[in-house]
A and B are shown apart, each in its own frame.
Chain A
């Protein structure tokens, strides 16, 4: 699986959009980008995933650059409860068995300030 690079920390004001970048310059054509988050010592939580096109769900939007070498997770209106470590993960789309595991890096600690 391709490696990802994320800033170690970011701050955001409550109510504003939080834009979390991820670099995955060695991504392969069959690898998806997944985002999970972990609120302090709780179990990780799935947010969103995508391959090429931008994606949106009730939690967030995912913007993937045309060359797929980077992506941005957008939380449109951050709240205090969005303070968490956000993980960008790249994995082969149809991987199974031993390759189905999620490889978590160090992620980005997003702190939403009142």
Chain B
């Protein structure tokens, strides 16, 4: 089944403890992206990747890192999480990062709480 998977689905952690949220897609997609969703603010893009070893900042990259060493994986790294990073996170992928590729596929989400 074609899908985007994220792990963990739920995570409660403490301020400053490094964490990684994994994202994997099995559709051989070139484009991958991370969004966060907060009440009243909608979905905002954190980072995106057009292809392997190519990543770039989205609208809200502060406090996050990403890597794209393999086509299928795009982990989101929080080196020193803070309470304002408590949010619902979504990974998405698309065949390519250009307008010719219309549909973006989203993962199930990771609900992160930083205390």
Which of A91, A98, A103 has a CB less than 8 Å from the CB of B56? A98
Q: Are A101 and B103 in contact (CB under 8 A)?
A: no
A29 contacts B by Cβ under 8 Å: no
Expressed in whole angstroms, the Cα–Cα distance for A45 and B107 within the complex equals 10
Q: Are A105 and B109 in contact (CB under 8 A)?
A: no
Chain A hits for B40, CB < 8 A: 106
Can you name 12 A-B pairs with beta carbons within 8 Å? A34-B102, A41-B109, A43-B107, A43-B108, A44-B106, A46-B105, A93-B99, A96-B99, A98-B58, A102-B43, A102-B92, A105-B42
Contacts known (A41-B88, A101-B33, A101-B48); A96 close to B97, Cβ less than 8 A: yes
What residues make up the interface of A, taking CB atoms closer than 8 Å to B?
A: 32, 34, 41-46, 49, 91-98, 100-106
Expressed in whole angstroms, the Cα–Cα distance for A97 and B108 within the complex equals 24
Within 8 A of A (CB), among B63-115: 88, 90, 92, 94, 97-100, 102-109, 111
Which of B90, B94, B100 has a CB less than 8 Å from the CB of A44? B90
Q: How far is the CB of A66 from chain B (nearest CB, A)?
A: 23
Q: How far is the CB of A52 from chain B (nearest CB, A)?
A: 15
Q: How far is the CB of B92 from chain A (nearest CB, A)?
A: 8
Which of B48, B92, B108 has a CB less than 8 Å from the CB of A98? B48
Q: Are A43 and B90 in contact (CB under 8 A)?
A: yes
Which of B31, B43, B59 has a CB less than 8 Å from the CB of A100? B31
